[in-house]
Amino acid sequence: MSQSIRNGLSTVPELDDVQFNRWQGLLEERTGMFLPQQRRSFLQTSLGLRMLELGIRDYGEYYEKIQDGPSGVMEWSTLVDRLTVQETRFFRDPDALQLVVEHMRRQRPRLQAREETMEFWSVGCSSGEEAYTLAMLAEENLASTGLKYSITGTDISTIVLRKARSGRYPLRALERIPVEYHNWAIAPLSSQQVEVAAQLRRRCCFSQVNILNLKNCPLQSQHVIFCQNVLIYFRRWRRREILDALAQRLAPGGLLVIGLGEMVDWEHPLLESVHSGQVTAFVRKQSTSTGESARR
């Protein structure tokens, strides 16, 4: 059983079983995120601190507020931002990124011949570091050959998306970006901040998409879908549904990358798994009548 938590002079009220189940259910229904019993005190603290900010002392009252028209929608987006794990960084998973680079190089001649733009989607992009990392790699490997590219970052939280759109990061973000990108991909803004170069920001757009509602999402025919460190917060049946929907949004020959171990026994008739010890990835088969493999 969780304890009441003191914050300064105020106390966060205890979340009883009924309220825990109610909030856990609402969160899962709206975001897909499943908070197990072990994360009960996290839920209590996050809800309770927000209630203190609003002067609300009762979980039931706050629950009603969340459901209440446009102001409820606004409050829900603040709460989602508090409850979701948004940890991210530039160049987070080098093995997965290497796979994307190899894929770009392999696909380049075909897309050039058709004058197609190479489309990348960072699903659950948080504050944008993943999307801008893809932009740096695409600029390096595609732009010099004249091939156009575009990156879309999507997330459920409007607050992280605002940070992503700004393209501004604390100076320490530079530590995560390999030094060879420093002089063209990132510009100093002040003694505290850096900014992603304008030529990369122009290629990136950010939009609110809940991955539970992909049927409303216009993105189709993506050449790379990068969905890392998002599915882990969902139950397995939901991960399958999301992956099925992402598979449909890949272009023939397109690459889907998920976090290592985020889904071990999933397969899809449109996809072939990519054999790599360090990365979980799939390629959409080419839809030619000969059944030509996407990896050839």
Given a contact cutoff of 8 angstroms between Cβ atoms, the answer to whether 239 and 251 are in contact is no
Should residue 138 be labelled a site residue for ligand SAM when binding is judged by CB under 6 A?
no
Type of residue found at 37:
Q
Compare residues 13 and 124 and give the one whose CB is closer to ligand SAM.
124
DSSP helix/strand/coil, 89: coil
Cα separation, 255 vs 295, in Å, equals 10
Q: How many residues lie near ligand SAM (CB under 6 A)?
A: 23
Q: How far is the CB of 211 from ligand SAM (least distance, A)?
A: 4
Q: Does 126 bind ligand SAM (CB under 6 A)?
A: yes
Q: Quick one: which of 45, 46, 86, 286 contacts ligand SAM (CB under 6 A)?
A: 86
The CA-atom distances, in angstroms, between 150 and each of 61, 126, 137, 194, 238 are 44, 18, 12, 22, 28
Q: Whose structure tokens read 């501004």?
A: 168
Candidate residues 197, 212, 251, 271; the one interacting with ligand SAM per rule CB under 6 A: 212
The Cα-based distances of 135 to 115, 166, 202 in angstroms read: 19, 15, 10
Matching residue, tokens 């803004």 = 189
Would you count residue 29 as binding ligand SAM (CB under 6 A)? no
From 13, 19, 32, 258, residue interacting with ligand SAM (rule: CB under 6 A)? 32
Q: x/- contact string, 175-194, with ligand SAM (CB under 6 A)?
A: --------------------
Give me the half-sphere count of Cα atoms (radius 13 Å) on the Cβ side of residue 286. 11
The one segment of 52-60, 179-187, 199-207, 222-230 that binds ligand SAM by CB under 6 A: 222-230
Report helix, strand or coil for 148.
Answer: coil
Cα(209)–Cα(186) distance, rounded to whole angstroms? Answer: 27
Instruction: Report if residue 152 touches ligand SAM, rule: CB under 6 A.
Output: no
Judged by CB under 6 A, the residue of 99, 228, 255, 280 near ligand SAM is: 228
Half-sphere exposure of residue 268: CA atoms within 13 angstroms, side-chain side: 23
Q: Pick the closer one to ligand SAM by CB: 209 or 250.
A: 209
What is the closest distance, in whole angstroms, from the C-beta atom of residue 93 to ligand SAM in the complex?
7
Shorter beta-carbon distance to ligand SAM: residue 48 or 124? 124
* Chain residues that interact with ligand SAM, rule: CB under 6 A: 31-33, 84-88, 92, 124-126, 130, 155-157, 160, 210-212, 228-230
